[in-house]
Chain A
Amino acid sequence: MITIALYITLAMVMIAALLNVYRLIRGPDSPDRVLALDTLYINAIALIILLGITLGTRLYLESALLIAVMGFVGTVAMAKYLKRGSVIE
């Protein structure tokens, strides 16, 4: 029961990641690309959590936490770069 749901969810999240990559490549403006990267890291967190459930281990949670923190900082830094032309003024 859970196994089937797990595989369906994995497929859905992977399709979502592919759609993000499509927007990342296509995206007419640079904010679109940053937004696609932002969504992509959130999907990566979901994939890591799903991997953890599949393998029955909680070891990967720390990496999910790290990706959450670093992804947010990265998004803010890139948006700031787009706005001002430099990250640290």
Chain B
Amino acid sequence: MNEIAEYIIAALLLVGGFFTLVGAIGLARLPDFFTRLHGPTKATTVGVGAIMLASVLYFSVSHDGIGISEILITVFLFMTAPVSANILAKAAMHIGVKSMDDTRGKPWEQ
């Protein structure tokens, strides 16, 4: 395996791990449900995407034949993350989860 590919794979792995961790910290630390929604939908999805990319590169460089089914998982995650965020926000508004005190604007009632 050549040197450059190794550096790229290691960097992708670290970036992926970092974003996954940041998404989880956001989930644990932010004050109310609607702000917590932001961490997992963006950071975690990108983090897992970077790890998948590292896996694709690793197996393409080190073994013969390319493996591309990780890309399918990544695309699937990128398509489903907004949908689950949206449906969870709807459920939260329906139940009447409290938002932070200094939130401006109001969720509507339906």
Which residues of A come within 8 Å of B, CB atoms? 1-2, 4-6, 8-13, 15-17, 19-20, 22-23, 29-32, 34-36, 38-39, 42-43, 45-46, 49-50, 52-53, 56, 58, 61, 64-65, 68-69, 72, 75-76, 79-80, 82-83
Instruction: Give bound CA distance, A47 to B92, whole Å.
Output: 29
Q: A19-B25, A58-B59 are in contact. Are A1 and B13 (CB under 8 A)?
A: no
Interface of A is mostly: helix
Residues of B36-86 contacting chain A, CB below 8 A: 36-37, 39-40, 44-45, 47-48, 51-52, 54-55, 58-59, 62-63, 67, 69-70, 72-73, 76-77, 80, 83-84
A72 adjacent to B47 (CB under 8 Å)? no
Looking at chain B, what size class is its interface with the partner chain?
35 or more
Contact residues of B between 1 and 59, Cβ < 8 Å to A? 6-7, 9-11, 13-14, 16-18, 20-21, 23-25, 27-28, 33, 36-37, 39-40, 44-45, 47-48, 51-52, 54-55, 58-59
B94 touches A5 (CB 8 A): no
Interface centre among B73, B80, B91 (most CB of A within 10 A): B91
> Which residues of the other chain, A, contact B76 by a CB distance below 8 angstroms?
65, 68-69, 72
- In the complex the two chains form, is A46's CB within 8 Å of B51's CB? yes
Q: Are A8 and B27 in contact (CB under 8 A)?
A: no
Contacts known (A53-B54, A82-B95); A35 close to B33, Cβ less than 8 A: yes
> Can you sample 5 A-B contacts with CB below 8 Å?
A5-B9, A34-B91, A56-B62, A72-B84, A75-B84
